[in-house]
Amino acid sequence: MLRVENLRVKVGGREILKGVNLEVGEGEVVALLGPNGSGKSTLLHAIMGRPGYEVVEGRIVFNGVDITGMRPDERAKLGLGMLMQIPPALKGVRLGDLLKKISSFYGAEIDYLRKLAESLRITGLLDRELHRGFSGGEMKRAELLLLAAQSPKLALLDEPDSGVDLESLPVLGRAINEIVYAYDSKAKEKRSAIIVTHAGKILSYIERVNRAYIMLDGKVSCFGNPRDLIEDIEKYGFEGCLRCLKVI
Ligand code: ADP
Ligand code: MG
């Protein structure tokens, strides 16, 4: 479904991604772990095609199509969607109105979204301007709801668990499962996701995580079973993964 090949990306004139290789198959959910500043968000933005993220080498292939030079909206039409780590606040744009617009464009059912808003406990936010004065946890929930309206084939989730209290993690986990698995029945193909998480907290609430990658200093340094890798990180820290035999 997604293949990132030897991707080098510059942001603000500085090389941030230094040759990233990563693959996500159809129906696969992969976790992307790594310390702050290792390039996780940059990788997701580059996959989504955010302006200012200059690809200087390598390519991104999505469902057999080279999307490296495409605009973000073109990528979204192909089925890519992203939950940003720090989404921008939008003056004059209400969450509920944007939700309707996105769902009418992508064909998600409004009843389904209303139920999801209830289970995310954010129906009270629908009349509010997007992210203006939202708490960290409210932002993540609102972003998940908007992403569900887009029903992406590949969801790029940037730290859905950061700034979220422990009690809310199961709620967020359920919503992610909805987006990636439950709503699958409508699509002819299986959904996929990349979940970026600093501490891996959210992963225990996800139905199935096929693989985890670790990013260090702009490169994917190794991959493996998520549980094993998180255990190793807890024992030896991120640098410990350098000792891993599966260096790629
Ligand atoms: P992570 O998500 O893994 O914490 P990021 O991808 O956000 O890391 O950042 C990787 C590195 O790129 C950091 O050193 C960060 O300061 C730098 N960086 C990110 N965005 C910019 C930018 N717009 N201009 C310059 N440097 C940037
Ligand atoms: Mg980040």
E strands along 34-174, which residues? Answer: 53-62, 65-66, 80-83, 154-158
Return the biggest CA–CA distance within the chain.
52
Closest-lying ligand 1 atom to the alpha carbon of residue 159? 2
The environment of the single-atom ion ligand 2, i.e. residues with CB closer than 5 A, is 40-41, 85
CA-to-CA distance for 203 and 6, rounded, in angstroms?
27
Question: Residue 178 — very low, low, confident or very high, per pLDDT cuts 50/70/90?
Answer: confident
d(CA 126, ligand 1 centre) in Å: 31
Whether the per-residue pLDDT at 183 is higher than 80: the answer is: no
Query: Which range in 121-130, 171-180, 218-227 is most confidently predicted, on average pLDDT?
Result: 121-130
Ligand nearest to the CA of 36: 1
CA-to-CA distance for 67 and 184, rounded, in angstroms?
24
Whether the per-residue pLDDT at 115 is higher than 80: the answer is: yes
* Residues recorded for the chain: 248
Tokens at residue 235, please? 């024992």
Question: Residue 247 — very low, low, confident or very high, per pLDDT cuts 50/70/90?
Answer: very low
- Pocket probe for ligand 1: among 17, 42, 47, 238, the residue whose CB has the most ligand atoms within 8 Å is 42
CA-to-CA distance for 19 and 64, rounded, in angstroms?
20
Q: Is the CB of 197 under 6 A from ligand 1?
A: no
The 10s digit of each residue's pLDDT in 3-47 is 999 999 999 999 999 999 999 999 999 999 999 999 999 999 999
Residue 233: the pLDDT is 84
Q: Is the CB of 12 under 6 A from ligand 1?
A: yes
d(CA 44, ligand 2 centre) in Å: 9
d(CA 207, ligand 1 centre) in Å: 30
Residue 166: the pLDDT is 85
Q: Is the CB of 51 under 6 A from ligand 1?
A: no
Whether the per-residue pLDDT at 65 is higher than 60: the answer is: yes
Closest-lying ligand 1 atom to the alpha carbon of residue 36? 4
Average pLDDT over the chain, rounded to whole? 90
**CA count, 13 A, side-chain hemisphere, 83:** 33
Q: Say what the pTM is.
A: 0.92
Q: Is the CB of 141 under 6 A from ligand 1?
A: no
CA-to-CA distance for 218 and 8, rounded, in angstroms?
9
Question: Residue 164 — very low, low, confident or very high, per pLDDT cuts 50/70/90?
Answer: confident
**Nearest residue to 7 via CA among 66, 85, 63:** 66
The protein residue with its alpha carbon nearest to ligand 1, atom 13, reads: 37
Tokens at residue 132, please? 């203006």
Tell me how far CA of residue 180 lies from CA of 4, 176, 194, 224, in angstroms.
Answer: 20, 6, 10, 21
DSSP label at residue 28: -
Average pLDDT over residues 162-176: 89
The 10s digit of each residue's pLDDT in 187-240 is 567 899 999 998 788 999 999 999 999 999 999 988 888 888 888 888 888 877
